[in-house]
Amino acid sequence: MKKFTALLLSMVMVASLAACGNTASTAESTETSAVETETSVETEAEAEVVPADIQVGFIFLHDENSTYDLNFINAAKEACAKFGIEPIMKTNIPEGQECYEAAAELADAGCDIVFADSFGHEDYMIEAAKEYPDVQFAHATGTKAHTEGLPNYHNAFASIYDGRYLAGIAAGMKLQEMINDGTITPEQAKIGYIGAYTYAEVMSGYTSFFLGVRSIVPTATMEVTFTGSWYDETAEKEGAQKLIDNGCVLISQHADSMGAPTACETAGVPNVSYNGSTASVAPNTFIVSSRINWVPYMTLLIESVLNGTEIPADYTGTIADGSVELTALGGAAAEGTQEAIDAAKAEIVAGNLHVFDTTTFTVGGETLTSFLADVDSDANYEHETEVIENGYVAESKFRSAPYFDLEIDGITLLDRVY
């Protein structure tokens, strides 16, 4: 009987909560963040201005098991902790109507900012943004904000090609070490790369990585295989194995599971990963990983909402603002790698080194003089924007999401998955 009464009571409570609707939840959120305000003031002792009533909701495609999502989840926690905000996180939200429902639920729950992390979430975020004009919707890796014209819908990405180029340098140093100690000849310096889709973001990524490698080892070549999924542990593992069997002596990846690093560790092949360190599964073969640090952008979002300033429609994080990072070097890194990376990094920040410098690569044997990229998304894949400026391809300038999708000489695509 007691249990029944308790159940009944709780149901009444739920009903009353639901009945109160939005006003109640705002009041509630004020209350909770006020409590957090106190605690954070106590712990930090520093008189940082702590907001009273802001909530941030996050939508993630997978959960912590995906290196891609883990990178976002960690950034969300870190950025929110700076302001004493408790983030509301929804994980495993597929790229369908569920994303719209999740975004709408977060907006209903009183969130001022809703952030989604996966490319396929974009259209559903736009739908939600149209419906909730007072809530800011931010979407990572998307392509439509600069043409959509919605004041509360924003895209963000980072100049990750810079990071991949630096990771490529680390890989190049490793290859050079192997050539120097006679493990391989310069002609055997073949790299393998596991990509998700034959998509501009991936192509831009492996090309910049390859250019980084070739800045150290000019004889290097690369083979790329695609899995057709952003997260498929088995396919990534098999892809890595296939490349190793093909004679690739170093592996890198742009897919989100631990599949490739695991396969490399088993085979004893050095590897460069993405999204964060994979040293835990590949302690002996991990060289370095590039990643986007989303904390600067998320901080910008929260600050903009607090101060009432405008959020850029399309934001590109850089090395300089801390959005593009390399992890600590792993045990497999060659001697002198850190110095080589630091030198190149300084050049990039200073604006002297451009990753897609047209003098460093050819397409079909020709040096590039003009490249129309597909910057504005449309169903006909129309390449409408000239992106070569001052002798280099200006990646992520006209839109934060990468658009470099050329196949340069020296890279062989084993398959294509569109």
Q: Is 105 in the site for another protein (CB under 8 A)?
A: yes
First to last CA, the chain: 61
Contact 238, 197 (CB under 8 A): no
The answer to whether 370 and 377 have CB atoms below 8 angstroms apart is no
CB of 122 to another protein, least distance (A): 7
CB count within 10 Å of CB 405 equals 18
Kindly state the smallest distance separating residue 90's Cβ from another protein, in Å: 6
- Pick 112 or 265: Cβ nearer another protein: 112
The residue from 4, 42, 47, 381 that contacts another protein (CB under 8 A) is 381
Q: Which CB atom, from 63 or from 342, has the smaller least distance to another protein?
A: 63
- Helices (runs of H) and strands (runs of E) counted in the chain: 11, 17
Q: By C-beta, is 121 or 345 nearer to another protein?
A: 121
All residues at 6 or more sequence positions from 71 whose CB lies less than 8 Å from its CB, including other chains: 275, 276, 291, 292, 294
Nearer to another protein, 66 or 221 (CB): 66
AA identity, residue 172: G
Cα–Cα distance between 113 and 98 in angstroms, integer? 18
Q: Please tell me whether residue 322 binds another protein under the rule CB under 8 A.
A: no
Judged by CB under 8 A, does residue 124 bind another protein?
A: yes
Please state, in angstroms and rounded to a whole number, the distance separating the CA atoms of residues 158 and 170: 20
- Contact yes or no for 195/206 (Cβ under 8 A): yes
Q: Is the CB of 202 or the CB of 333 nearer to another protein? A: 202
Element (H, E) at 18: helix 2-44
- 123 near another protein, judged by CB under 8 A: yes
Residue 335 or 378 with smaller CB distance to another protein: 378
- For Cα atoms 89, 106, 47, give the angle at the middle one, nearest 5 degrees: 65
Site residues (CB under 8 A) for another protein, limited to 190-209: 196-200, 202-203
- SS3 state at 49: coil
Residue 161 binds to another protein (criterion: CB under 8 A): no
Residue 70 and residue 84: Cα distance in Å, rounded? 21
The reply on whether position 188 binds another protein by CB under 8 A is no
Within 19-58, the residues that bind another protein by CB under 8 A are: 21
Residue 90 or 174 having the CB closest to another protein: 90
Query: Please, how many CA atoms are within 13 Å of residue 32, restricted to the half-sphere of its CB?
Result: 12
Q: How many Cβ atoms sit within 10 Å of the Cβ of residue 2? A: 6
DSSP for 272-304, please give it.
EEESS--TTT-TTTEEEEEEE--HHHHHHHHHH
Q: State the greatest distance between any 2 C-alpha atoms of the chain, in Å, as a whole number.
A: 83
120 binds another protein (CB under 8 A): yes
Instruction: Measure the CA–CA gap between 186 and 150, rounded to whole angstroms.
Output: 52
* 90 contacts another protein (rule: CB under 8 A): yes
Which range touches another protein (CB under 8 A), out of 118-126, 212-220, 271-279, 332-340?
118-126
On whether the CB atoms of residues 168 and 210 are closer than 8 A, the answer is yes
The reply to whether 256 sits near another protein by the rule CB under 8 A is no
Q: Does 303 interact with another protein (rule: CB under 8 A)?
A: no
> Given the complex with another protein, which of 13 and 35 has the nearer CB atom?
13
Q: Is 321 in the site for another protein (CB under 8 A)?
A: no
Q: What are phi and psi of 176, to 5 degrees?
A: -60, -40
CB of 124 to another protein, least distance (A): 7
The reply on whether position 6 binds another protein by CB under 8 A is yes
Is residue 63 a contact point for another protein (CB under 8 A)?
yes
We find the least distance from the C-beta atom of residue 403 to another protein, in angstroms, to be 9
CB 294 within 8 A of CB 140: yes
Kindly identify the residues of this chain, within the stretch 393-412, that bind another protein according to CB under 8 A: 405
Q: Is 372 in the site for another protein (CB under 8 A)?
A: no
Q: Which of 82, 223, 228, 338 binds another protein (CB under 8 A)?
A: 228
Burial class of residue 353, CB neighbours in 10 A (0-12, 13-18, 19+):
middle
Ranges within 138-157 binding another protein (CB under 8 A)? 143
Q: Which is nearer to another protein, 8 or 346 (CB)?
A: 8
Rounded to the nearest whole angstrom, what is the least distance from the CB of residue 135 to another protein in the complex? 14
4 binds another protein (CB under 8 A): no
Binding site for another protein (CB under 8 A): 6-7, 10-11, 13-14, 17-18, 21, 63-65, 89-92, 94-97, 101, 104-105, 108, 119-120, 122-124, 126-127, 143, 196-200, 202-203, 228-229, 374, 377-379, 381, 405, 417-418
